[in-house]
Amino acid sequence: MIVAFCLYKYFPFGGLQRDFMRIASTVAARGHHVRVYTQSWEGDCPK
């Protein structure tokens, strides 16, 4: 399954971003493909 997340802006701090990263990591660990759509990304990109 391909799961897409849409965020206006990602930065490596804040509750929404922390929750998003936790959920996206869990979904990917279960074998699904994760796509992220955002206008701006700050910080390191996860592999």
- DSSP code of residue 35: E
pLDDT(45) > 80: no
pTM score of the predicted model: 0.80
pLDDT in tens, 10-32: 888 888 888 999 999 999 999 99
Domain residue limits, the chain: 2-41
Helix (H, G, I), strand (E, B) or coil at 6: strand
Tell me the percentage of the chain whose pLDDT exceeds 70: 98
Q: Alpha carbon 15 to chain centroid distance? A: 13
